[in-house]
Amino acid sequence: MANICLNYLEIAGPKAVIKTLYQVMTREDNPMLFGYLRPEPDYSKTEVLPTFPQVSGIQPVTTDHSWYDWRLQNWGTTQELSEEMRFDFHYEEGFPDYAAVKGCFETEGTLPRQAVQYFADANPGVKIQLFYYESELGFCGIYDTDGDSKHFSVSGKSSSEVKAIVPQQLQDIFNIVEDIEEAEASDED
């Protein structure tokens, strides 16, 4: 089983753009997030190079497997958001033409950095912050499409060390310090 990366997403911008995104990602029939942020190509017409050429060689990936490499390269994760991986998303309206979507979801192993950056670049006025925590591999951070991103390694660190280096907002979203304190307590037993 893949490692699970917890994500908390905040997308804000023009109301029309954000409202459409919210409707797509919360619809009951085929909810979608990453495929909307960055649509997949027609794989029968798109050449996809392998993500790890040192392992598989430099030849283009066959059509049967190209979706995996394309998604990893262009979304940052291989699985589309599913009902089981999506938690509490909510929509907020602000000023006359401003709205935001906020919510939690899981991805397998990595964060969807490329998908959120593509969407922000393609939609003027959209700002995205992606908070993430992967407890098994011990990393967390804040990915900001405006470029103010921070990444922290918490692997092998004590709860007091984590408390000193990880911003409070990130600690609060994922209960990172409490998670590490629980691991420390179980190690003492």
pLDDT surpassing 70 at residue 30: yes
Full-model pTM: 0.88
Residue type, 184: E
pLDDT surpassing 80 at residue 59: no
Considering the chain, what is the average pLDDT of its residues? 88
pLDDT surpassing 50 at residue 1: no
Greater model confidence, 62 or 74: 74
Give me the mean pLDDT over the 116-124 stretch: 96
Give me the mean pLDDT over the 15-33 stretch: 88
pLDDT at 32: 83
pLDDT surpassing 90 at residue 85: no
Band (pLDDT 50/70/90 cuts) for residue 84 is: low
